[in-house]
Amino acid sequence: MRTFRAGVIGCGSVGKVHTECVKQLDGFDMVAYCDIFEENALSLLEQYGGEYATSDIDRFFADDSLDVIYVTTLHDTHAEYSIRALLSGKHVMVEKPLALTAEECVRVGDAVNQSGKKLMAAFKLRFHEMVLKAKELIPNPVMVSMQLMDNRWGDHIWANDPIKGGGNILSQGCHATDILRFVAGGDPVETYATGGHYYQANGLPDNISAVYRFDNGVAGNLIVGDANTPSYTSKFYMQIFAEGKSVTLSDRLTTLTYNAADEEPVVFRSTEAGMLEENKALLQCLQQETEPPVNHIDGLYSTLMIMQAIESLNSRKPEPIRPLIEQLNCR
């Protein structure tokens, strides 16, 4: 079986984790490293091996020997680099969020369609074993509640920069909206949100509470912020309800407690292996020439679910989501 040759642009902490995952998989090899700071690219080359490290971005995208490019840079370059990779004939794994605006997500989608190449959006929580188990136990929920509550983000980290990162609500909240939609099993029609900007120096919303109405009737509830991680729930916490049963996912979604009426609770546990599993999923779709399990439309929804919640903070009214997706005509 052939080996897919990969390169990574953005050789920081998550570029390193993807490199470690790729290096574990037969059929995949990480051969090229690119970063605006050459020493970051060199550091991964030295640790994991490969063919070259460079800060020459044009050279990297022009390398026709690469099959796949990992985009693990700051958020304001995700769309541009994904588009460049696709249009130069490479498949793409792009870290979350797909892009900072819906329009950029749509441009990425256009490049996917134009190039015929595959793009996978890296939403690792979908690949957590206990999340998949929860979907199996409650395939048709009536209500889903997702909480992503981090400790206070530093005022000056790049992800909190309005241009480079978009702030904590979008940066990490897109994980939460993606998994909320995934578990709800439908598409969000509209959202209403409260909360907003409380203390961050960037002036962006830092803690929000939003409800989503899904087209399959599911009621979704989302809390995202950086006020403080409660030890009881952990940073990632989800509850899923259906008539006569419920699932609670705690310990960063690695512990699942299943309750069914008149039965003793059952507890299942796993580890956080989502990132390795998403890399396996990408390799599988390349080998079998199937569609990626998480694509640009999923990326668009996760970004737009946050953007429209923020819009609702300002308008104090419910804001549409699916009608906007239809208007954007993203395929």
Note the residues at the interface with ligand NAD (CB under 6 A). 9-15, 35-37, 40, 72-75, 77, 95-96, 122, 124, 171
Terminal CA-to-CA distance of the chain, rounded, Å?
Answer: 31
Q: Name which of 141 and 299 has its Cβ closer to ligand NAD.
A: 299
Pairwise CA distance, residues 320 & 331, whole Å: 19
Q: Name which of 35 and 67 has its Cβ closer to ligand NAD.
A: 35
Answer whether 156's CB lies under 8 Å from 107's CB.
no
CA 129, 130, 132, 137 torsion: positive or negative? positive
Q: Name which of 151 and 329 has its Cβ closer to ligand NAD.
A: 151
Which pair of tokens denotes residue 173? Answer: 């909240």
Residue nearest to ligand NAD (CB): 12
Q: Name which of 69 and 210 has its Cβ closer to ligand NAD.
A: 69
Place of tokens 């009426």: 261
User: Which SS3 state, helix, strand or coil, does residue 274 take?
Assistant: helix
Q: Name which of 112 and 276 has its Cβ closer to ligand NAD.
A: 276
Q: Name which of 119 and 122 has its Cβ closer to ligand NAD.
A: 122
For the bound state, the minimum distance from the C-beta of residue 128 to ligand NAD, rounded and expressed in Å, comes to 11
Answer whether 214's CB lies under 8 Å from 187's CB.
yes
Measured CA to CA in angstroms, residue 165 lies from 73, 100, 191, 237 at distances of 10, 8, 23, 23
Pairwise CA distance, residues 42 & 35, whole Å: 9
For the bound state, the minimum distance from the C-beta of residue 100 to ligand NAD, rounded and expressed in Å, comes to 10
Cα atoms found within 13 Å of the Cα of residue 187, Cβ hemisphere only? 14
Q: Name which of 77 and 255 has its Cβ closer to ligand NAD.
A: 77
β-pair partners for 188: 214
Pairwise CA distance, residues 256 & 243, whole Å: 18
User: Which SS3 state, helix, strand or coil, does residue 310 take?
Assistant: helix
